[in-house]
Structure 1
Amino acid sequence: MAQPNPLLSGLRGRCPNCGEGALFAGFLKVAPQCSACGYDLGKADSGDGPAVFVILIAGFVVAFAALYVELVFTPPIWLHLLLWLPLTVIVSVGLLRPLKGVMLAAQFSNRAAEARSDD
């Protein structure tokens, strides 16, 4: 059986080792181990990486969309708030889980480990 692409598996929320088992036990909580292959997922930690990428991507999309709408249509401020605040939340929440999966899969594919100071 061919090894699955870990980054695509992480994007789908699947185990980066086998591509079958669930990577998450909740919305963002990483499963302790893969239900299909038994791979230990408990040591994986994405840190703040996914949140940074979400901020950059969502900020780019929403800021430029808001700027375009302002320059072309010049709506009142209440309409901007009505449009862009929910869109910001939707884009941010929608991107967070896939990007966390990709970051965890990137750790797996690069065999990264937490830096330790055992001095």
Structure 2
Amino acid sequence: MSDMISGSPQPDREMKRAVWRGWRRRCPNCGEGALMDGYLKVRRECPHCGEALHHHRADDGPPYLTLLIVGHIIGPAMLWVFVAYEPGPWTFMAIFGVAAVVLSLWFLPRLKGLIVGVQWAARMHGFGRDAAPQDEAA
């Protein structure tokens, strides 16, 4: 089913492919260009295909999903390790403190890319529309 924007039909965008490309931190359109300029900053446009990426609104979603996922990994792991090995409190805090930080740092940019991919595929927030680029200062 094609989307009607500005009176002209536009082809559907495959959600699964866009999400996978976003997870890999690649352009949701071509899958070749880097999505991020640094650790978390999304590029204004794809360096490979020129697709505008500045429309994204991946604000609070990636941190929320990161906390949700990491909490569901760390929580049961903490319970299992405590019951099975009964480590000392400092050892316990050191292991799981580092694990939580490492997992969070690994998941955050991937989940941001995933959300940008979803927004691109669903044509949300100006993706796929003939919109003027946002002002750099805004």
Q: TM-score, normalised on structure 1?
A: 0.89
Corresponding residue to 1:72 among 66, 73, 84 = 84
- Using the TM superposition, give the Cα deviation of residue 84 of structure 1 relative to its aligned residue in structure 2, in angstroms: 0.3
Aligned to 1:10: 22
Matched residue SS, 1:79: helix
Q: Structure 2 residue aligned with 1:55, among 59, 67, 80?
A: 67
- Residue 26 of structure 1 aligns with which residue? 38
**In structure 2, C-alpha distance between the alignment counterparts of 1:16 and 1:70, rounded to whole Å:** 42
For this pair of structures, how many residues does the alignment match? 112
Mind listing any 5+ residue stretches in structure 2 that lack a counterpart? 1-12, 127-138
Which structure carries more strand by proportion? 2
Cross-structure match for 2:105: 93
> Out of 79, 97, 116, which is 1:104 matched to?
116
Q: Distance in 2 between matches of 1:72 and 1:35?
A: 50
Deviation, structure 1 residue 76: 1.2
TM-score calculated relative to the size of structure 2: 0.77
CA distance in 1, matches of 2:122, 2:82: 44
**Identity over aligned residues, as a percent?**
35
- The 1-side partners of 2:20 and 2:73 are apart by 23
Q: What CA deviation, in whole Å up to 9, does each residue of 1:36-60 have, x standing for no partner? A: 1111111212111111111011011
1:42 and 1:82 map into 2 onto residues whose CA distance is: 39
Which stretch has the larger CA shift, 66-75 or 91-100?
Answer: 66-75
The SS at the match of 1:40 is: coil
Computed over aligned residues only, the root mean square deviation of the Cα atoms, in angstroms, reads 1.4
Inter-partner Cα distance in structure 2 for 1:15 and 1:82: 37
- Runs of 4+ aligned residues of structure 1 deviating over 4 Å after TM superposition are none
